[in-house]
Amino acid sequence: MKRDNRSRPAFTLIELLVVIAIIAILMALLLPAVQKVREAASRMQCLNNMRQLGLALHNFANDYGQAFPASRITVGTDNKFRSWTPIALPYIEQDNVAKLWNESVKWNVEPNLTVSRQQLKLFKCPTAPNDRLPSPAFGVLGYGDYGSVNAIRYRFYTANGIPELFPGAGTRPGDEVPGALQRVIPTPITAIRDGTSNTILLAEDAGRPNLWQRRMDRNVATVDGHGWADPDCGFSVDGVQDNLVTTGGRCFINCTNDSELYSFHPGGINVCMCDGSVRFLSERISAATLAALVTARGGDIPGDDW
Number of domains the chain contains: 1
221: pLDDT strictly greater than 80: yes
Q: How far apart are CA 199 and CA 293, in angstroms?
A: 5
Dump pLDDT digits (tens) for 243-284: 999 999 999 999 999 999 999 999 999 999 999 999 999 999
- pLDDT band for position 35 (cuts 50, 70, 90): low
Q: Which residues contact 131 (CB under 8 A, 6 or more apart)?
A: none
Of 17-26, 153-162, 194-203, where does mean pLDDT reach its minimum? 17-26
What domain range includes position 73?
A: 34-294
DSSP 41-66: HHHHHHHHHHHHHHHHHHHHHHHTTT
Nearest by Cα to 153 from 140, 164, 138: 164
User: In this structure, is residue 210 part of a structural domain?
Assistant: yes
- Predicted confidence (pLDDT) at residue 33 exceeds the cutoff of 60: no
> Which helix (DSSP H) or strand (DSSP E) does residue 85 occupy?
helix 85-88
Instruction: Say if residues 88 and 60 touch (Cβ distance below 8 Å).
Output: yes
Is residue 2, in this structure, part of any structural domain at all? no
Is 10 a domain residue?
no
Residue 217 falls within a domain, yes or no? Answer: yes
Q: Which of 22-36, 134-148, 186-200 has the lowest mean pLDDT?
A: 22-36
Residue 300 falls within a domain, yes or no?
Answer: no
* Mean pLDDT, residues 110-120: 97
In this prediction, residue 10 carries a pLDDT of 61
Task: Identify whether 178 is preceded by a cis peptide bond (ω within 30 of 0).
Answer: no
> Is 303 inside any structural domain?
no
Mean pLDDT of 119-145: 94
149-178, pLDDT tens digit by residue?
999 999 999 999 998 676 555 555 568 999
Contact between residue 293 and residue 179 where contact means Cβ atoms under 8 Å apart = no
What's the predicted TM-score (pTM) here? Answer: 0.85
Q: What does the mean pLDDT of the chain come to? A: 90
